[in-house]
Amino acid sequence: MIIAANWKMNPQPSDVASLFAGYCGDQRITQARAEILCFVPSCYLALAEQALEKTTIKWGAQNCHPEPSGAYTGEVSAEMISGFGGSWVLAGHSERRSGFGETDEFISAKLVAAIKAGLNVVLCVGEPKERRERGTQNQYVATQLAASLAAFGAETSDWQAAHLKQLVIAYEPVWAIGTGLVATTVQIDDMHTHIHAQLEQRFASLQAGAMPPILYGGSVKDDNARDILSLPLVGGALVGGASLSASSFAAIAGCADMVI
């Protein structure tokens, strides 16, 4: 099971050291049976390396560019992330898709580039509110997942089988992120079952063992984490706002340990 913190554009420089210290000082995080990840703003990668390198916590960035270098002002490459000890990166987060116009094709390219650079990737997919209301969420997510994995699928079968273990999926219903709305456990279970079926259909022929785990990322908090993480096809959580409190994030990690 994976419990991942997505700090987004937080915290302020004056608070980052104390947040790292809070993570490192809580045994529910440092001694968790779940795998603990921390996705920090890229400007904090060096600080993450200093703070976390002697702990069990893995760290990474929230975004990367498909190219290893070049005239891409403001961007960060997968090689730069790994250069600061990062081993993970997010791809396709809904806030990147909607706020920065990232297409499935672009996300697909960065996913493969990151994997080839040795990073593990959490690929985010999820439907907007109008799709949920119209009852077309399954079709939407299936299309999004297929398009975002197109470049991965274009590689040879041997390559896919060798690198499938570097891929994690996160289901984030867009309508439940920062809105106060929370998906029911039935809705979460239904979508995770749907995504799992899509992954099996796509990757079963590789004979590569277990399918990529599917995290849930929609307003996960310490008061709902145990119910969500108890669902059979939920392989962990991608935690946003609650990850900015070390005690709240530790409580979620503790919930994970209860259900492993």
Instruction: Write out the catalytic residue numbers.
Output: 93, 172
Q: Per DSSP, what are the bridge partners of residue 4?
A: 37, 238
Which among 256, 260, 216, 246 is positioned nearest to 55, based on CA atoms?
246
User: Do 115 and 152 meet the contact criterion of CB atoms below 8 Å apart?
Assistant: yes
Indicate the helix (H) or strand (E) that contains 171. Answer: strand 167-171
Name the residue among 51, 1, 25 with its Cα closest to residue 220: 1
Contact between 212 and 164 (Cβ < 8 Å): yes
**Euclidean distance between CA atoms 170 and 237, whole angstroms:** 8
Tokens linked to 241 = 């706002």
Question: What are the beta bridge partners of residue 40?
Answer: 61
Closest CA to 53 of 16, 28, 86, 75: 86
Instruction: Report the SS3 class of residue 36.
Output: strand
Nearest to 250 by CA among 62, 18, 5, 61: 5
DSSP label at residue 136: -
